[in-house]
């Protein structure tokens, strides 16, 4: 595998760079503060990089768009600057033309600026206990591979461990796993 450069931007936001391509996960760029939506969230620290410092990304992997801690106001503004944004079908409908929907196990291709082809596969994810989907909505993870199907990187998305994530491990011989590990408190 060409060297993977992983930059934690903050929260669920990470920049993955390898083989001439740049992927960004659930991008949150708002400053610290209290945000009210369906729930009240308090962000205690800002991102380590601004959108301007990150620059162009080839693809955004958006586990879900319906929570501020995975796509905030500044993150929504950044969506239009990415070459491609991959989201759940419901998320893509909410984001409009800015996003391409990927259903579970669906694969699409992304081409790097140097012409290398990457496969991006949407994987099952679940935001909590079984049955929580009607409350919290659809969530996705993603597997990234080169055209040769290796190396594989698994970005879990904002999920818990369940049969769907176990199936990802069964189907793909991943080399790197990017785990989302939240800090939500009641």
Who contacts 181 (Cβ-Cβ below 8 Å, separation ≥6)?
A: none
Question: What is the pLDDT at residue 129?
Answer: 65
Residue 144 lies in a domain: yes
Residue 88: which domain range? 5-178
Please say whether the beta carbons of 117 and 109 come within 8 A. Answer: yes
Query: Tens digit of pLDDT for each residue in 40-83?
Result: 777 778 888 888 999 999 999 988 666 656 667 777 777 778 88
Please count the other Cβ atoms lying within 10 Å of the Cβ belonging to residue 98: 16
Q: Is residue 122 part of a domain?
A: yes
Predicted TM-score of the model (pTM): 0.86
* Residue 54 placed within a domain: yes
* 186: in domain: no
| Residue 19 belongs to some domain of the structure | yes
List pLDDT tens digits, range 103-131: 999 999 999 888 989 999 999 987 766 76
The total of structural domains in the chain comes to 1
- Answer yes or no: is 183 within a domain: no
In order of 34, 52, 156, 158, 165, the CA distances from 44 in angstroms are 9, 21, 24, 19, 30
């Amino acid at each position: 595998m060409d060297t993977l450069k992983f930059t934690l931007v903050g929260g669920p936001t990470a920049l993955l760079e390898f083989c001439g391509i740049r992927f960004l996960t659930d991008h949150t760029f708002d400053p610290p503060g209290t945000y009210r939506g369906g729930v009240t969230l308090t962000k205690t620290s800002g991102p380590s990089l601004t959108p301007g410092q990150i620059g162009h990304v080839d693809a955004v992997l958006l586990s879900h768009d319906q929570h501020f801690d995975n796509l905030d106001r500044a993150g929504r503004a950044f969506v239009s600057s990415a070459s491609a944004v991959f989201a759940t079908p419901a998320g893509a409908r909410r984001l409009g033309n800015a996003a391409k929907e990927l259903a579970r196990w669906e694969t699409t291709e992304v081409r790097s600026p140097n012409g290398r082809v990457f496969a991006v596969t949407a994987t099952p994810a679940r935001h909590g206990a079984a049955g929580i989907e009607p409350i919290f909505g659809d969530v996705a993870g993603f597997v990234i591979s080169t055209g040769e199907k290796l190396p594989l990187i698994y970005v879990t998305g904002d999920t818990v461990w369940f049969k769907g994530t176990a199936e990802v491990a069964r189907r793909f011989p991943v080399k790197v796993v990017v785990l989302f590990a939240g800090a939500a408190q009641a």
